[in-house]
Homo-oligomer: A and B are copies of this chain.
Amino acid sequence: MAKEFVKNVTSMQDDFAQWYTDVVTKAELIDYSSVRGSMILRPYGYAIWENIQKELDNQIKATGHENVYMPLFIPESLLQKEKDHIEGFAPEVAWVTHGGEEKLTERLCVRPTSEVLFAEHFKNIIHSHRDLPKLYNQWSNVVRWEKTTRPFLRTLEFLWQEGHTCHETDEEAHGETVRMLNVYADLCEEFLAIPVVKGQKTEKEKFAGAKYTFTIESLMHDGKALQSGTSHHLGDGFAKAFGIEFTNREGKLQTVQQTSWGFTTRIIGAMIMVHGDDRGLVVPPKIAPTQVMIVPIAQHKEGVLDFAYDLKEKLSQTIRTGIDASDKKPGWKFNEYEMKGIPLRLEVGPRDIDQGQVILVRRDTGEKETVSLQGLESHIQHTLSDIQNNLFKKAKTHRENQTTTVTTFDEFKVKLSEKGGFIKAMWCGDDACEGFIKDETGATSRCIPFEQERLAEKCVCCDQEAKHLVYWAKAY
C-alpha cells in the first residue's frame, strides 16, 4: 500500500504566511530548489499558468498584437540610454560578467523588462506612419534581484508577458494603455474570479521611465493588496533616447508614442490568497486544469472502474475531467483534491451505478448532491458556472467588507490596524504626504481609482486641498 498521509495546512487565522507556504507546496504548485529566490513550477502550477497564458494570449492576439521574442541579455550601455529607467532598475538586475572562460568587455544584464531592447528594434523597423501602430507582445522569463522572496509573489525570476507598442499620437497610446488594462481586468474578474480596482499609480509608484502607469489592484484574504497587472503610457521618453522617429502624414519627422504592459505568474499568488481556505487551494473552474475529478468508490467491485472510465471519456469532450483510480483510499483522495482546489468531485460506486446516478461535491461550498446520469453533463456545466460566479461574488463581498472610507489620519491609522484592507481617503497629491502615510502606517498608495469620489475637501494627511481619492493598503 502507498503511504497515505493526509495533508493538512496551517489555519489562515493562526498564521497566514505559513498557510500560504503550506498551500503552494502541499497542493504541489511549486517546489523550492537550491537557487535562492527561484521556484520550480510543478506540473499543477504550470498547468494553471498555461491556462492563464492561453486565455490572455487569445485576448492579446484578438486585440491585434503579434508575438515576438527578444534576447535575454541587455548590454549595460543599452540599459543606460533612458535615465529614469536605469535608475529604477539598476539596483535589482543580475549581471553576467563572464562567458565561458572569458571576461566580457561589457557587462550584460539579465532582462528585468525589455523596453530598451524593443526600443532599439523599433528604431530599426519604423520609418513611416504606415509602419504604425506596431503592436508587439512577448512571453518570457525576467529576473529581478529581490532580497526577500516568496513563491509567485516575489521571486528572483518570474514568467510573464510584456506588451510593447508604438503609436503616432499621444491619444492613441493612451487608448492602448487603457485597452490593455481592461484586458487584464477582465481576465482577472471573468477567468480568475478576482475583483480588481482600476486606477492610476502616483508619480512615486509609477514604472521607471513611464509618463504614467495604470494598475489593477486586488485584495487578498488577509487584507493586504496585490498589484495584479500594470499598463504604462511611456510617452516619448524611450523614443527620444533611442531616436524612434517616423515620417508623419504631413511628411515631417516625428517621435513615436509608446506603451508597455505586463502580467505575470504573480497572479497565481493572488488566486491562492483570494479563493483559498483552510482545506487548501480553490481554483476557479475557468482556469482549473482539472474541473471535475472522478473518485470511484469500492472500485474493486465489478464494473465500477469501467463505468468510471467511460464516464471520464464522455465528460472529457466538454469538461476537463480527471480520474483517480489508484489504490489509495477514497478519504485520502477526497482530501488530496480538496487541497488542490479542484472545483467538483464526482463520486461513483456500485449502488450509484445501479441507480443511474452519481454524487457531486462542490469545493467552494462543500455542498453534496445526488445527480442523475441523465443530463449529468449539462448539470456539471451549470454547476461549474455557478461556482465561478460564487467565487467572484464571495471575493467581491470580502473586498467590500474590507474597504473603509476615512477622512482623518487618526481614523486612517485605527481602521488600517483594526481591519486592514483598502482604506479610501483623499490626498493632496503631495509626495511628502504619501511618504508620511507610508512611514507612519506601512500602507502605500495603491492607486488613484478611475472612479473618483469626493469624500472630503482636505487631504487625509495635511491641510491642503484634496486632489484625488486614493486607495491605500499594506501590500505584497
- A interface, CB within 8 angstroms of B: 2-3, 31, 33-35, 38-43, 46-47, 49-50, 66-75, 78, 90-102, 107-108, 110, 117, 120-121, 124-125, 128, 130, 136, 140-141, 143, 145, 156-157, 159
Contact = CB atoms under 8 A, between A and B. Distances in A.
A41 B40 CA distance: 27
B66 A43 contact: yes
A174 to B, nearest CB: 24
A71 B40 contact: yes
A100 B92 contact: yes
A130 B328 CA distance: 12
Given A2-B130, A95-B96, A99-B145, 9 more contacts: A31-B121, A33-B121, A35-B117, A38-B72, A43-B66, A71-B156, A71-B157, A95-B98, A110-B110
Given A97-B98, A121-B31, A72 B141 contact: yes
A99 B121 CA distance: 27
Contact of A141 (B41, B78, B140): B140
Nearest to A74: B35
A121 B40 contact: yes
A359 to B, nearest CB: 27
B69 A40 contact: yes
A373 B70 CA distance: 42
Contacts of A121: 31, 33, 40
Given A75-B34, A140-B141, A68 B94 contact: no
Contacts of A145: 99-100, 102
Contacts of A159: 69
A157 B73 contact: yes
A42 B68 contact: yes
Contacts of A35: 71, 73-75, 108, 117
